[in-house]
């Protein structure tokens, strides 16, 4: 039998109650515990309400610091005032009425004087919530209760997920330890985009189910290769004939690289051979120019370009795994980790665009993907104020999110902030229907769209969010069967660390 901890105070409504604690329990009852209210009394209650306690309050009217009272005066001279008039209480945020079919919204007034019970380990209250609809269990647990794993509504996984928290709050760890295994359990394949190559790649080893791929081994589309050359040659030394020469050579680029790779001993030789081929190709195409002045200006442009362009400049574009081949790996792998470290931001975003276009086309053609796409450092792809190629990547993420809901694509976006300069683009953010909030940045504490706007209606204050320890997150939104956010955490298992 759960333990009686107090009674409902005056002023309760159907969605709000305050519990006055029994004597001395303020020492052992803490915020975020789950409680049961037997609404109307221990015997024959009207209903039983599960709730979370938050916002504790200690009152001693006789110690009011703004008025003069005998107790205050006594204390002023070093005496210890009496504690007999102290009242400790917590707000209870009702999760819902417990029924056979799970949790239902409480519409009855919570009666003052109703007894309140603390739920303990073997009451397993989260099982009461986990009814109705298909439920999966995360390896994360309710803060303070290692045995109470957290239920998740499976059907809302493709409604997308956001993980927010300032640097070091545990977002990447949480994703690795909890979300990725959850998605696997739900039957999704997981594609991880490791922006810097330091947050995921080092923790996953190639195995039966897992493959790591370096972004440099992935083929770029021909458009991106052309713009890469454009960049490296100062716009082809502003000569259209030379540009055409490059353009012609790039046609069928991946096939060409594959062919050369067959005979090349190593990458160094590969880029040398390709370099020579490009040079010859352009030489030939220029020498076919009939007008003499055009020909000699093209020759000058070419000399200038090849003085600067080096074989090693080809290294970033000799990847040969096409996006199609990449996704084909899911036929026998469950997790693919793309190590995006060591290339320029434009190259990362260029790859992302090719990948997302491909996924979008698959979905538009009616395919269900069953893929979870982990986008860590999400503001790099979809910042609040996108510029250049980010305009396209933001738009693409928004489109993937919209179509993904029906096509079993989960997007998991991870960011240090929610809104504004450190956050995720607002149009994208609106599509993320489940949120995990870790310790927040002060910039996110207040204001429209900030964490407190999300959480303070549930009695979670910005002060608490600013102080969360690493690895603790408030879980809220579509995937959470509890309408009230829950504080969850997880354990780091040393030595067993491959996601
Ligand atoms: N559940 C946990 N318990 C204890 N410590 C944890 C937990 N989760 C993460 N940490 C610690 O927090 C540190 C930071 O975690 P992580 O790298 O996931 O942060 P992050 O939010 O991704 O940061 P960044 O925004 O800088 O990428 C880890 O090195 C780890 O030691
Ligand atoms: Mg991180």
Question: Which residue in the block uniquely carries the two structure tokens 């709730």?
Answer: 51
Question: Is the CB–ligand 1 distance for residue 423 below 6 Å?
Answer: no
Answer yes or no: CATH 2.40.30 is held by domain 3-129: yes
Contact yes or no for 198/341 (Cβ under 8 A): yes
Looking at residue 495, its pLDDT comes to 54
Pairing of strands 102-104, 87-99: antiparallel
Assess whether pLDDT exceeds 80 at residue 462: yes
Question: Is the CB–ligand 1 distance for residue 167 below 6 Å?
Answer: yes
Question: Is the CB–ligand 1 distance for residue 471 below 6 Å?
Answer: yes
Q: How confident is the model at residue 195 (pLDDT cuts 50, 70, 90)?
A: very high
Rounded mean pLDDT of 1-15?
Answer: 92
- Reading the block at residue 325, the tokens are 């081949």
Assess whether pLDDT exceeds 80 at residue 14: yes
Task: Give the ligand whose atoms come closest to the C-alpha of residue 170.
Answer: 1
Rounded mean pLDDT of 27-34?
Answer: 93
Contact yes or no for 127/24 (Cβ under 8 A): no
- Render pLDDT for 142-172 as a digit per residue (tens, 0 to 9): 999 999 999 999 999 999 999 999 999 999 9
Task: Give the ligand whose atoms come closest to the C-alpha of residue 489.
Answer: 1
Q: What are phi and psi of 277, to 5 degrees?
A: -65, -45
Spatial strand order in the sheet of 409-415: 149-153, 135-142, 486-489, 472-477, 434-437, 161-164, 409-415, 371-375, 189-194, 335-339, 210-214
269 compared with 132, residue with greater pLDDT: 269
Q: How confident is the model at residue 215 (pLDDT cuts 50, 70, 90)?
A: very high
Q: How confident is the model at residue 499 (pLDDT cuts 50, 70, 90)?
A: very low
Looking at residue 81, its pLDDT comes to 80
Q: How confident is the model at residue 204 (pLDDT cuts 50, 70, 90)?
A: very high
Rounded mean pLDDT of 305-330?
Answer: 94
Rounded mean pLDDT of 293-302?
Answer: 95
With a CB cutoff of 8 Å and minimum separation 6, the contacts of 236 are 229, 230, 242, 243, 246, 301, 305
Percentage of the chain surpassing pLDDT 90?
Answer: 78
Q: Considering the chain, what is the average pLDDT of its residues?
A: 92
Q: What does the DSSP 8-state code read for residue 380? A: G
Please, what is the end-to-end C-alpha distance for the chain in angstroms?
A: 38
Give the distance (Å) from ligand 2 centre to CA of residue 376.
7
Assess whether pLDDT exceeds 80 at residue 59: yes
Q: How confident is the model at residue 346 (pLDDT cuts 50, 70, 90)?
A: confident
Task: Give the ligand whose atoms come closest to the C-alpha of residue 415.
Answer: 1
Question: Is the CB–ligand 1 distance for residue 189 below 6 Å?
Answer: no
Assess whether pLDDT exceeds 50 at residue 298: yes
Helix, strand, coil shares of the chain, percent, nearest 5, are 40, 25, 35
422 compared with 119, residue with greater pLDDT: 119
Looking at residue 13, its pLDDT comes to 94
Question: Is the CB–ligand 1 distance for residue 200 below 6 Å?
Answer: no
Question: Is the CB–ligand 1 distance for residue 490 below 6 Å?
Answer: yes
Give the distance (Å) from ligand 1 centre to CA of residue 167.
8
Instruction: Please give the Cα distance from 32 to 52 (Å, whole number).
Output: 6
- Render pLDDT for 176-187 as a digit per residue (tens, 0 to 9): 999 999 999 999
Give the distance (Å) from ligand 1 centre to CA of residue 341.
20
Residue 37 three-state SS: strand
Looking at residue 2, its pLDDT comes to 81
The domain ranges of the chain are 3-129, 135-218+321-489, 222-317
Instruction: Tell the CATH superfamily of the 135-218+321-489 domain.
Output: P-loop containing nucleotide triphosphate hydrolases (3.40.50.300)
Rounded mean pLDDT of 104-129?
Answer: 94
Looking at residue 25, its pLDDT comes to 93
Rounded mean pLDDT of 337-366?
Answer: 93
Assess whether pLDDT exceeds 70 at residue 136: yes
Assess whether pLDDT exceeds 60 at residue 498: no
- Render pLDDT for 62-114 as a digit per residue (tens, 0 to 9): 888 887 788 888 888 888 887 778 899 999 999 999 998 888 999 999 999 99
Question: Which residue in the block uniquely carries the two structure tokens 């608490």?
Answer: 464
Assess whether pLDDT exceeds 60 at residue 497: no
Give the distance (Å) from ligand 1 centre to CA of residue 164.
12
């Amino acid at each position: 039998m759960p333990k009686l901890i107090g009674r409902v105070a005056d002023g309760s409504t159907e969605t709000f109650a305050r519990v006055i604690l029994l004597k001395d329990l303020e020492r052992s009852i803490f915020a975020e515990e789950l409680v049961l209210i037997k609404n109307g009394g221990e015997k024959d209650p009207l209903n039983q309400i599960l709730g979370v306690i938050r916002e504790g309050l200690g009152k001693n009217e006789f110690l009011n610091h703004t008025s003069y009272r005998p107790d205050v005066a006594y204390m002023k001279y070093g005496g210890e005032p009496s504690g007999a008039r102290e009242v400790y209480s917590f707000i209870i945020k009702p999760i819902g009425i417990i029924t056979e079919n799970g949790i239902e919204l409480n519409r009855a007034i919570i009666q003052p004087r109703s007894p309140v019970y603390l739920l303990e380990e073997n009451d397993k209250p989260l099982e009461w919530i986990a009814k109705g609809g298909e439920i999966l269990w995360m390896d994360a647990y309710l803060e303070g209760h290692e045995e109470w794993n957290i239920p998740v509504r499976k059907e809302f996984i493709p409604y997308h997920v956001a993980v927010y928290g300032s640097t070091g709050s545990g977002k990447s760890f949480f994703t690795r330890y909890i979300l990725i295994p959850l998605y696997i359990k739900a039957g999704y394949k997981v594609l991880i985009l490791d922006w810097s190559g330091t947050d995921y790649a080092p923790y996953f080893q190639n195995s039966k189910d897992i493959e790591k791929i370096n972004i440099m081994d992935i083929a770029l589309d021909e458009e991106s290769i052309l713009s890469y050359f454009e960049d490296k040659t100062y716009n082809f030394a502003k000569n259209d004939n030379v540009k055409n020469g490059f353009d012609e050579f790039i046609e069928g680029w991946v096939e060409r690289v594959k062919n050369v790779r067959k005979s090349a001993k190593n990458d160094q030789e590969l880029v040398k051979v390709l370099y020579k081929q490009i040079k010859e190709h352009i030489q030939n195409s220029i020498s076919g120019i009939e007008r003499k002045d055009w020909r000699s200006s093209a020759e000058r442009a070419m000399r200038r370009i090849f003085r600067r362009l080096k074989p090693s400049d080809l290294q970033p574009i000799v990847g040969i795994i096409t996006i199609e081949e990449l996704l084909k790996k899911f036929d026998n792998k469950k997790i693919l980790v793309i190590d995006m470290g060591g290339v320029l931001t434009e190259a990362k975003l260029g790859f992302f665009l090719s990948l997302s276009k491909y996924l979008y086309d698959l979905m538009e053609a009616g395919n269900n993907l069953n893929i979870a796409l982990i986008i860590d450092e999400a503001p790099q792809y979809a910042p609040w104020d996108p510029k250049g190629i980010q305009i396209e990547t933001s738009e693409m993420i928004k489109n993937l999110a919209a179509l993904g809901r029906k096509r079993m694509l989960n997007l998991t976006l991870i960011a240090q902030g929610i809104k504004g300069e450190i956050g995720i683009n607002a149009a994208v953010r609106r599509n993320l229907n489940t949120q995990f909030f870790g310790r927040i940045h002060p910039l996110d504490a207040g204001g429209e769209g900030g964490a407190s706007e999300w959480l303070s209606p549930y009695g979670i204050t910005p002060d608490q969010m600013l102080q969360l320890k690493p690895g603790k997150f408030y879980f809220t939104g579509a995937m959470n069967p509890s309408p009230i956010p829950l504080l969850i955490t997880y354990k780091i298992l040393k030595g067993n660390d491959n996601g």
